[in-house]
Amino acid sequence: MFNIGGGEFVVLLILALLIFGPDQLPKAAQQIGRVLRQLRTMANSATSDLKEGLGPEFKDLDVKDLNPKRFVQKHFWEDDEPERRPAARLNGKRPPFDDEAT
């Protein structure tokens, strides 16, 4: 989710120790965990409220599909009809790209 490597995690841990101190760090981590759980609960509640408000015809609605990037991928590139995709018309090859065209 955050793409944090081992070295970056160590740096963040050292910064947290410097900012909060060794005696306050466990309390801060506990509060951060509590806030993240509350945010997750609120997001799940909002998602269920949205699905409930839309009615039974939208019971299989995935909120992630409302992201514009995911919407385009789903409706243009994950089509069941391969002949409609531009890449399929070129026998699996990518169309030529012209650097000077745009």
Tokens of 44: 């799940």
Q: Tell me which amino acid residue 33 is.
A: G
pLDDT higher than 90, residue 85: no
DSSP secondary structure string for all residues of 7-27: HHHHHHHHHHHHHHHHHHHHH
Say how far apart CA 102 and CA 97 lie, in whole Å. Answer: 10
Domain, as residue range, for 67: 62-95
- 69 vs 34, more confident: 34
Burial category of 70 from C-beta neighbours within 10 Å (exposed 0-12, middle 13-18, buried 19 and up): middle
Is the pTM of the predicted complex or chain greater than 0.75? no
Overall number of domains in the chain: 2
55 and 66 co-located in one domain: no
70 lies in a domain?
A: yes
Query: What is the DSSP secondary structure assignment for residue 85, as one 8-state letter?
Result: S
34 lies in a domain?
A: yes
47 lies in a domain?
A: yes
17 lies in a domain?
A: no
pLDDT higher than 80, residue 93: no
